[in-house]
Amino acid sequence: PEIDAEWMDIMVHIADGAPGRACMAAETGSIELYAETLKTLTMSSCDKVMIERLAGQWGAAGIRNRDRRHMAMLLFERLIGLAASQGSGCDRPSSSLALEQSAVAHILARHSADQLAEWHQEFLRDWRRGESLNLAMAPLILRLLMSLSQG
């Protein structure tokens, strides 16, 4: 797709340098949705209506939304992994994206690295299970976003 050079840089960065993943993010609208999700996670109080809307968009059912759900898994795995690693003092590089750094800081102010590591494992386990059984993913994403946004 036709993409602004600055957005392409952000997409490639978030996609960990994988151009195909960056294109998938652009085609599915995942970058804008991720930015909106990060902004929501930086809010001082939990906006349940916004979180429900975001979870519904990330976890929308059907074959047409499969790529967006895949991007949700990748981006949430990235976000929780960054927060857990930073919180535990690991040498894993932090994000160079300001919005992502801000969201990680807000998440770390609310939760311990141990709790985040546990949620990371649960999220990936539940995601694989849900995908293998063709379950709705919106409830899984809703549970994760509610957990991350509440202190």
Give pLDDT tens digits for 77-134. 999 999 999 998 876 667 778 888 999 999 999 999 999 999 999 999 999 999 888 8
pLDDT given at position 8: 64
Distance CA(49)–CA(60), nearest Å, equals 16
Find the mean pLDDT for residues 49-54: 96
Q: Which residue has the tokens 């990680």?
A: 104
pLDDT band for 9, please (50, 70, 90 cuts).
Answer: low
Find the mean pLDDT for residues 57-86: 92
Are the C-beta atoms of residues 140 and 126 closer than 8 Å to each other?
yes
Are the C-beta atoms of residues 117 and 88 closer than 8 Å to each other?
yes
Q: Where are the beta strands (DSSP E) in 7-151?
A: none
Say which range, 27-31, 71-75, 97-101, 120-124, has the weakest mean pLDDT.
97-101
pLDDT band for 6, please (50, 70, 90 cuts).
Answer: low
Q: Residue 58 pLDDT more than 70?
A: yes
Cα–Cα nearest to 141, from 83, 61, 85: 61
- The CA angle 22-25-27, to the nearest 5 degrees, is 110
User: 6: how many CB neighbours lie within 10 A of its CB?
Assistant: 8
The conformation of residue 63, written as its DSSP 8-state character, comes to G
Find the mean pLDDT for residues 63-70: 92
